[in-house]
Structure 1
Amino acid sequence: MTLRSVVKGTGSALPKRSVSNAELAAQVDTSDEWIVERTGIRNRYIADDSETTATLAADAARKALDAAGIAAADIDLIVLATATPDQTFPATATKVQAMLGIDDCIAFDVAAVCTGFLYALSVADSMLRSGNAKRAIVIGAETFSRILDWEDRTTCVLFGDGAGAIVLQAEEGEAGILSTKLHADGRHNGLLYVDGGPSTTGTVGKLRMKGREVFRHAVVNLADVLGEVLAATGLTAADVDWVVPHQANARILDATARKLGLPPEKVIVTVDRHANTSAASVPLAFDVAVRDGRIKRGDLLVLEAMGGGFTWGAAAIRY
């Protein structure tokens, strides 16, 4: 039998404050109609001063552990994907480790922006299959509201805060992660980036994006990598039960599904409720669909995302 990384439980967490388009329009030169037409977003959650990437990540991890029926003490690996860490260092994963009461385990962050969860998932999968760990928590968590320019209506309306987590366990069998594919192309740095950093400006900086160019690259790259990950498993789009995509923009989700010939009813969509939560969006959508009963054991899932860098990737999972 093949040793695979099996998803044992999922969890997610959102800040307390929910912000509708109407509330945002009272502060920014925009409207509900403008936002919905271009993005499909109707709502997002914004962290307050007491809520950080680490606190949201820990909450999501606890829920995933409860769903898995696994004690925190049995976890020997934490991989946290984030572009908005609590501190420059140490890794936010180590803060989560302490919050969960784990005295000793491997814990580190992965930075690949919106593709971060796919990168973290691939790393954890490799470590579990190699025997370096037996049980892992893989988390995507962000507080993107901290790096938004609230005077730039083209970007500030797109993002929200949140976290999602899954618990993986190495087991022999047919279920688990079947394949992952990752890519990056740093030539496109200037299309989606933050204009700050410790070694350049010494400041945190704000998010900057050229939306039209990002959209064009996203549709092509996501369709290609989904095809690639399916080919690696000998499967086709017709075999897929659910696509769990990065929740960037409803138009990107629609265009990618059409390019692959996938019916829209097979695509998990939460962007209307949560906006773009970067590395948190895939595990957050995953957890929502597990808990509302759409995703069931035995289903074939494909996860995909693209983010600044550019980075992009996909994973095929037998849930």
Structure 2
Amino acid sequence: MSISITGTGSYIPSLKITNKDFNNHKFLNLDGSTFNHDNDVIIEKFKAITGIEERRYATKEHKTSNLAFFAAEKAIENAQVDKETLDYIIVAHNFGDLTYGHTQGDTLPSLATRVKHQLQIKNPKCVAYDLIFGCPGWLEGMIQANAFIKSGIATKCLVIGAETLSRVVDDFDRDSMIYSDGAGAAIVEKTEDGGEIIAHDSATFTVDEASYLFFGKTYNKEIDDDNYYIKMFGRKIYEFAVTHVPKAMATCLDESGVNIDEVKKIFIHQANEKMDEAIIKRFYKLYKKDMPEGIMPMSISKLGNSSVATIPTLFDLVKQGKLENQEIKKGDVVIFASVGAGMNVNAMVYRI
């Protein structure tokens, strides 16, 4: 018996926002002062660091749970399973359902309950719950699903990562260009001859790191705005990530017993292209090796950072052959890794 990903699905919103769409924004520093550079310079530097050229936003009528539902439908169809046989629906997110034009999140009922309702699953033994674990939420949901199945209390789980971060950004904060919307989902179940979750590792750092990502007020001190928006200390996150994520990946790989040369792909949270590359290089350096070419599929340039949705969306795109020059096949060993608010880190070794 093995625990396998038998189906995947993703939903990429249709509304495309390019870097040029930020040219008319008034970007401010934390203290409300203006930058010394024009927006075209700010945006060019932003692209050079993050790799982001464009991102996707949800249309006005869709909320996070809708995006989650769209991805879930595709995963269920891809796995060719009866939705009534699902034991758990786990939805990872950070802000709940957000109505367009508002920053107040709605989590009553839970997003997982809303997805189950939209799927019209009648089975009351299909337990639906939400998971808030920062950007590593979807991967932590996969780890929980693996534990449920391994313990015998479940045979089939649906794990979803969904977010509409475009609705909790401060238009005066240049970091607003990072965030995007989307959803990805996977069916995890007990199989006889499928893939296999081989090992995983998770950690939470909170002594000094708890508030590296937080909810804060707009940088514009001249307007009356009581709303709170997603904020971060980018440099601190970068230093944290390049230190702790490679270690988590190495711990996980060593536990799996798989040789690093067998790893075919690394699906890392699409947070920042330069940061992700630095993480993978440091990971290989731990084994006194160079980072192999093509080992790290990337979607951030076109899709931005959709938090919990980046890894399942990226994995689905590669699995479906929709990412240029990237493919995976049965028997390949891949690593999933993420870092985010909390500060949380996790990794998983999986054989396709």
Unaligned runs of 5+ in 2: 28-38, 98-105, 218-225, 285-290
1:267 aligns with 2:296: yes
Q: Distance in 2 between matches of 1:249 and 1:264?
A: 18
Percent identity of paired positions between Structure 1 and Structure 2: 28
Contact 2:242/2:278 (8 A) holds in 1: yes
User: Higher helix share goes to which structure?
Assistant: 1
Q: SS of the residue aligned with 1:113?
A: coil
Aligned counterparts of 1:178 and 1:204: Cα–Cα separation in 2: 44
1:175-211: per-residue Cα shift (whole Å, max 9, x none)?
2211111100122122211238xxxxxx872111111
Find the partner of 1:117 among 138, 144, 148.
138
Does the Cα contact within 8 Å between 1:6 and 1:170 map onto a contact in 2? yes
Aligned residue number for residue 61 of structure 1: 72
CA contact (8 A) 2:139 2:347 kept: yes
- Equivalent residue of 2:135, what SS? helix
Using the TM superposition, give the Cα deviation of residue 74 of structure 1 relative to its aligned residue in structure 2, in angstroms.
Answer: 2.2
* RMSD value, Cα: 1.6
- Which residue of structure 1 lines up, in the alignment, with residue 195 of structure 2? 175
The CA deviation string for residues 59-114 of structure 1, in whole angstroms up to 9 with x for no partner, is 01111111111122222211111002122322100100111111221110110110
1:242 aligns with 2:253: no
CA distance in 2, matches of 1:174, 1:47: 34
Residues 1:70 and 2:81 are matched in the alignment: yes
For residue 100 of structure 2, what is the aligned residue in structure 1? none
- The two structures have a TM-score, normalised by structure 1, of 0.93
Residue in structure 1 matched with residue 61 of structure 2 by the alignment: 50
* 8 A Cα contact 1:13 1:164, kept in partner: yes
Within the alignment, does 1:314 sit opposite 2:337 as a pair? Answer: no
C-alpha distance in structure 1 between counterparts of 2:111 and 2:216, whole Å: 22
Work out whether 1:79 is the aligned partner of 2:90.
yes
Q: Take 1:48 and 1:115, find their aligned partners in 2: how far apart are those partners?
A: 25
Return the alpha-carbon distance in structure 1 between the equivalents of residues 194 and 261 of structure 2.
19
Q: Does 1:144 pair with 2:165? A: yes
Distance 1:40 1:58 in 2: 29
Q: Is the 8 A contact 1:8 1:68 kept in 2?
A: yes
**Structure 2 CA distance for aligned equivalents of residues 67 and 297 of structure 1:** 16
Unaligned runs of 5+ in 1: 197-202
Partner of 1:199: none
Structure 2 residue 227 is the aligned partner of structure 1 residue 207 = no
The answer (yes or no) to whether the contact 1:21–1:35 under 8 Å persists in 2 is no
1:69-108 alignment to 2 at 5 Å?
69-86=80-97, 87-103=106-122, 104=124, 105-108=126-129
8 Å contact 2:4–2:194 — kept in the other structure? Answer: no
Match of 1:289 in 2: 318
SS of the equivalent of 1:114 reads coil
In the superposition, the TM-score normalised over structure 2's length comes to: 0.84
Q: Given the alignment of the two structures, is residue 192 of structure 1 paired with residue 213 of structure 2, yes or no?
A: yes
Matched residue SS, 1:50:
coil
Task: Tell me, yes or no, if structure 1 residue 232 matches structure 2 residue 227.
Answer: no
